Amino acid sequence: MLLTDRQITELALSKGMISPFDPLNLNSCGYDLTLGSDFKIPALDSENYVVDPFNPPPFTAKTCLNFIIIPPNSFVLGASKEYLTMPPDILGVCLGRSTYARSGIISHVTPLEPGWKGNVTIEISNTNPLPVKVWVDKGITQVIFLQASEMTQKDYVA
């Protein structure tokens, strides 16, 4: 079952599912996560480097107070300003925002599984042939919440 704005608000306020919770980020069936100011940038020093997903490249940390500029055909990792505590029967699925999609920005987030807690890691990819400015404290991805019809057998395991 897809949760509505009323149900999301109730879980955010009574169960601490979203903190801080800002009603202005609430949609009819979702919540816009805002981008925090800490980023990780892949430290690739060679055009011949081949990325192995199971042995990722090193990252350089960077703090940006207002925005970050993402070079063409590149990506950074960001984190949501919000801390989420997923209830044991709720799954979160994040989708990109059209504001950024129109600029060639794709945001990717893995599923927020029942029982998971933390700030959401967000991959922000620039498919544009030009640099794109991505704003801190603005909505970067919308999370929709799905409630399982019964409790899962497995909880999230880090």
pLDDT tens for each residue of 121-134: 999 999 999 999 99
Q: What percent of the chain has pLDDT over 70?
A: 97
The predicted structure's pLDDT at residue 43: 83
pLDDT at 57: 80
Counting residues of the chain whose pLDDT is more than 90, the rounded percentage is 84
pLDDT at res. 93: 98
Q: How sure is the predictor about 52, in pLDDT bands with cuts at 50, 70 and 90?
A: confident
The per-residue pLDDT for range 78-116, each reduced to its tens digit, is 999 999 999 999 999 999 999 999 999 999 999 999 999
User: Would you call 123 a catalytic residue per the annotation?
Assistant: yes
0.85 exceeded by the pTM?
Answer: yes
pLDDT in tens, 53-76: 898 888 999 999 999 999 999 999
CA distances from 13 to 9, 17, 90, 127, 145 (A): 6, 7, 15, 37, 15
Which of 47, 82, 123, 150 is the catalytic position? 123
Under the banding of pLDDT at 50, 70 and 90, the label for residue 51 is confident
d(CA 30, CA 33) in angstroms, rounded, equals: 10
